[in-house]
Structure 1
Amino acid sequence: MKIALIIENSQAAKSSIVHDALTSVAEPLGHSVAHCGMSGPDDEAHLTYPMIGIMAGILINSNAADFIVTGCGTGMGSNLACNAMPGVFCGLVIDPTDAFLFAQINDGNAISMPYAKGFGWAAELNLQDCYRKLFEGEPGLGYPRERAAVMAENRGILTKLKEASCKDMLAVLKSVDQDLLKAAVSGEKFQEFFFANSQDAALTDYVKQVLAS
């Protein structure tokens, strides 16, 4: 699985802590991790949580990434921004129980975490435990297990609801503020990962067009 990590400006100083915790768990399990920004407070890509939503939408809908790991001070803003995008199903994960239940019940493709609120002593251990609960087992098996079929049915219903309520991602990109979009996709790390892994030619061409404008 290709996991994309995105950190916004207010928590960029914790970028290495989050990245190290994620890679220490995900990579031994056979997953790859791409850091798409911000890598630190001085990163030229100055990302806000609305931009994270756009980036997550592009990466998921182009199949460049299979899963997004992101967050902000409380985790709320990035969670809302991600869930505003078509095809992105983001959970707010604070502790390992949240991570386990989200993976087993909701089987989404993104999480948002608080990197300021409650981020205290041994915070990196909590991050590692959360990532372990997310990525070490098969997702979508349900909890409790006897309700697995009902939960799978509800996930299908939610997917159809989102398809009915959202535009397709290309239409979203054409509709949003183009300066905001250009700022969101201008980071070198994001571009390197997206252009190397995107499987959607129309999204790729539009992002190139925006960057060239």
Structure 2
Amino acid sequence: MKIALINENSQNAKNPMIEAALKKVVEPMGHTVFNYGMYADEGSAPLTYVQNGILAAVLLNGGAADYVVTGCGTGEGAMLALNSFPGVICGHVEDPLDAYTFAQINDGNAVALPFALKNGWGQELQLEYTFEKLFGFGSGNGYPADRVVPEQRNKKILDGVRAAAFRPLPDILDDLDRELVRGALSGERFQELFFANATDETVITKVREIIG
């Protein structure tokens, strides 16, 4: 699985620590982490939590990522931004229990973590434990056992509702402020990572148009 890491501007200093914790857990599982920033370097192209949502939607809909790990100070803004787009089901995950139940019950493809709140000593351990529960036990299996059937049924219903509620991503990108979108796609390694991994030609074409 291709897992994309995205940080917004208030938490960019923690990017190396988050990347290290994520890679430590998921690489032995056979997953690959692609770090889209923003990076710890203060000169990095800034990302707001709204732009996190735009970038995550481009990566997931474009096939450049199968899963997005992101967040902001509280995780709330990033979660709301990601869920504003088609093809993205993002959970707000504070701890390992949240991670496990979101993966098993809601079967999403993105998480938003609170990288500032309640994170002092041991933050790297909390992240490792959270990533273990998020990626280490499959997804969509249901929990608890007596709720598996209705949970899986409800997830299919939700997928149908979301398919009816959203327009195609390229159409949405056209209607957003072009500089806002261009800023979301201006990270130092965006083009290198995106074009090497993306598979959806419609999204690829739209991205090329936007970034010129």
User: After TM superposition, is the score higher than 0.5?
Assistant: yes
The question of whether the paired residues in 2 share the 8 Å contact of 1:9 and 1:41 is answered with no
Match of residue 206 from structure 2 = 206
Match of residue 4 from structure 1 = 4
d(CA) in 1 for partners of 2:23 and 2:202? 31
Gaps of 5+ in 2: none
CA drift of 1:44 comes to 2.6
1:120 matched to 2:108: no
Match of residue 130 from structure 2 = 130
Counterpart of 1:208, as a letter, is: R
Q: How many residues align?
A: 212
Q: Deviations over 1:149-184 (max 9, x none)?
A: 111111111111111111111111111111101111
d(CA) in 1 for partners of 2:78 and 2:49? 5
Matches within 5 A, 1:182-201: 182-201=182-201
Match of residue 162 from structure 2 = 162
- Aligned sequence identity (%): 47
CA drift of 1:137 comes to 1.4
Counterpart of 1:143 in 2: which secondary structure? coil
Match of residue 66 from structure 1 = 66
d(CA) in 1 for partners of 2:153 and 2:139? 15
Deviant stretches of 4+, over 6 Å = none
d(CA) in 1 for partners of 2:182 and 2:189? 14
Q: Deviations over 1:21-54 (max 9, x none)?
A: 1000010111000001111141431100000000
CA drift of 1:146 comes to 2.1
* Change in CA separation of 1:41 and 1:188 when aligned onto 2, cut-off 3 Å: closer
Stretch moving more, 43-52 or 22-31 = 43-52
d(CA) in 2 for partners of 1:58 and 1:106? 21
Counterpart of 1:57, as a letter, is: A
Counterpart of 1:188 in 2: which secondary structure? coil
Match of residue 179 from structure 1 = 179
Matches within 5 A, 1:67-146: 67-146=67-146
Stretch moving more, 162-171 or 79-88 = 162-171
* Change in CA separation of 1:31 and 1:160 when aligned onto 2, cut-off 3 Å: same
Counterpart of 2:189 in 1: which secondary structure? helix
